[in-house]
């Protein structure tokens, strides 16, 4: 590949130098911002940064004041979009402690994303350490109640060079954003638009990795959804253009009248950690879960016949969003009469209770940071 990664292994000793912010937000300022943080607009005082170059490997691990990055105008990411990211949350428990949910799975996926994008893979222990250190230093920013601290690890190609090749330098960073409950007053069912003009992923492409480019390419389809009065877009497969893949940033499940669940198989979709957790929890309780292709035509027919009871989208940010209505160029149809279904809502509660430490954690998913 032309990139030497041989310095990477054995850096799990990488120690973070901690340099607390000189001018953190005042308590009053923070309280005002935490009152109604919304999603992704309020940020904490610090960030984690680790750098990579070919001579030093991963180095310069720091927790420092959140600030601008100096980026040369010729930095590779600004031209060829070598960028990947993750999303996970820190949850405040009733006892005042703090949980992370499956950060090892995010670290593994981040490493897989790096490999697909020909970027230097970050050792998983360094990813987890960066996240934990940031949560500890910014713990005062973690909202109570149904809020959480959204963590955004990401990596950009920073080499100054306009040639098309994998960058020889990278910046890995983690920033944090307190978020309120995604839905005020409980999850409202979303309406989704079936995109027939655009696809998000083909076999051999980047659909299964969390790279910014996938999102850039989905925005036009999402705008089309909004134009048609829908909340979200759902993509079909790129070959036959009839199998349901996923939403712009969430996976999808279907609930049938025999109690079984089905979800599109891995391959071109993003392997969601929420998706994986739902499959595990459903199987724990004896529910049959199929990972199999499902066409939009079948969805319409099953909704009409009553065979399909519910559909829901899932991801870290919103946990579970019931789908109430499906719109497409060939007409609209309702799912569970347009209301939030009991299976979606029950699964949501199950997952959220584990995340906040209110229910037992049979799969060892919780990592207590504080």
Ligand X SMILES: *Cc1c(COP(=O)(O)O)cnc(C)c1O
Helices (H), 194-309: 212-227, 273-284, 296-305
CA distance 297 to 1: 43
Task: Work out which of 57, 147, 249, 264 binds ligand X, going by CB under 6 A.
Answer: 249
Q: Does 87 bind ligand X (CB under 6 A)?
A: yes
Task: Work out which of 25, 175, 273, 282 binds ligand X, going by CB under 6 A.
Answer: 273
Task: Work out which of 57, 189, 264, 272 binds ligand X, going by CB under 6 A.
Answer: 272
Q: Does 251 bind ligand X (CB under 6 A)?
A: yes
Chain mean position to CA 319 = 10
Query: In whole angstroms, how close is the CB of 182 to ligand X at the nearest point?
Result: 12
Query: In whole angstroms, how close is the CB of 266 to ligand X at the nearest point?
Result: 11
CA distance 247 to 318: 13
CA distance 304 to 44: 48
Q: Does 124 bind ligand X (CB under 6 A)?
A: no
Query: Who contacts 153 (Cβ-Cβ below 8 Å, separation ≥6)?
Result: 85, 86, 88, 106, 110, 127, 130, 131, 172, 173, 174
Chain mean position to CA 38 = 17
Which phi and psi (to 5°) does residue 247 adopt?
Answer: -85, -175
* CA-wise closest residue to 75 among 156, 158, 166: 158
Q: Which stretch binds ligand X (CB under 6 A): 68-76, 244-252, 300-308, 355-363?
A: 244-252
CB atoms within 10 A of CB 296: 18
3-state secondary structure at position 127: helix
**Considering beta carbons, is residue 30 or 275 the nearer one to ligand X?**
275
Q: Does 315 bind ligand X (CB under 6 A)?
A: yes
Binding to ligand X in span 316-335, by CB under 6 A: 316
**Considering beta carbons, is residue 58 or 127 the nearer one to ligand X?**
127
CB atoms within 10 A of CB 182: 18
Task: Work out which of 14, 77, 250, 252 binds ligand X, going by CB under 6 A.
Answer: 250
Q: Which stretch binds ligand X (CB under 6 A): 23-31, 164-172, 272-280, 347-355?
A: 272-280
**Considering beta carbons, is residue 167 or 214 the nearer one to ligand X?**
214
Binding to ligand X in span 197-236, by CB under 6 A: 210
Helices (H), 228-293: 273-284
Query: In whole angstroms, how close is the CB of 209 to ligand X at the nearest point?
Result: 9
**Considering beta carbons, is residue 16 or 365 the nearer one to ligand X?**
365
DSSP string covering 145-166, please?
A: TT-EEEEEEEEEE--B--SSS-
Name the pairing type of β-strands 251-256 and 308-315. antiparallel
Task: Work out which of 237, 246, 302, 310 binds ligand X, going by CB under 6 A.
Answer: 246
Task: Work out which of 274, 321, 328, 355 binds ligand X, going by CB under 6 A.
Answer: 274
Distance from the first to the final alpha carbon of the chain: 41
Size of residue set near ligand X by CB under 6 A: 13
Q: Which positions lie near ligand X, rule CB under 6 A?
A: 87, 210, 246, 249-251, 270, 272-275, 315-316
């Amino acid at each position: 590949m032309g990139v030497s990664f041989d310095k990477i292994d054995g850096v799990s000793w990488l120690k973070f130098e901690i340099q607390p912010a000189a001018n953190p937000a005042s308590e009053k300022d923070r309280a005002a911002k935490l009152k109604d943080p919304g999603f992704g607009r309020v940020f904490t005082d610090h960030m984690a940064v680790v750098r990579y170059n070919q001579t030093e490997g991963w180095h310069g691990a720091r927790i420092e004041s959140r600030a601008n990055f100096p980026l040369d105008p010729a930095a590779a990411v600004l031209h060829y979009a070598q960028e990947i990211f993750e999303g996970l949350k820190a949850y405040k428990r009733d006892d005042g402690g703090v949980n992370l949910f499956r950060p090892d799975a995010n670290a593994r996926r981040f490493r897989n994303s790096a490999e697909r994008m020909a970027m230097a893979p970050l050792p998983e222990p360094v990813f987890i350490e960066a996240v934990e250190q940031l949560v500890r230093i910014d713990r005062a920013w973690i909202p109570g109640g149904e809020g959480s601290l959204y963590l955004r690890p990401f990596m950009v190609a920073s080499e100054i060079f306009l040639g098309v090749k994998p960058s020889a330098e990278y910046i890995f960073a983690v920033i944090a954003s307190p978020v309120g409950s995604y839905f005020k007053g409980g999850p409202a069912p979303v309406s989704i638009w079936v995109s027939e003009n655009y696809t998000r992923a083909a076999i051999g492409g980047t659909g299964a990795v969390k790279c910014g480019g996938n999102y850039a390419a989905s925005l036009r389809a999402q705008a089309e959804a909004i134009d048609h009065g829908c909340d979200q877009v759902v993509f079909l497969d790129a070959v036959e253009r009839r199998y349901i893949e996923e939403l712009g940033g969430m996976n999808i499940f279907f609930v049938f009248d025999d109690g079984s669940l089905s979800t599109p198989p891995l391959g071109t979709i993003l392997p969601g950690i929420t998706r994986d957790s739902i499959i595990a929890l459903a199987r724990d309780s004896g529910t049959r879960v199929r990972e199999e292709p499902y066409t939009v035509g079948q969805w319409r027919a099953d909704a009409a016949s009553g065979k399909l009871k519910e559909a829901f989208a899932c991801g870290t940010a919103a946990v579970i969003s019931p789908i109430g209505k499906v719109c497409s160029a060939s007409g609209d149809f309702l799912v569970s009469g347009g209301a939030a279904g009991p299976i979606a809502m029950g699964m949501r509660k199950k997952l959220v209770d584990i995340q906040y430490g209110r229910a037992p954690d049979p799969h060892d998913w919780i990592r207590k940071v504080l």
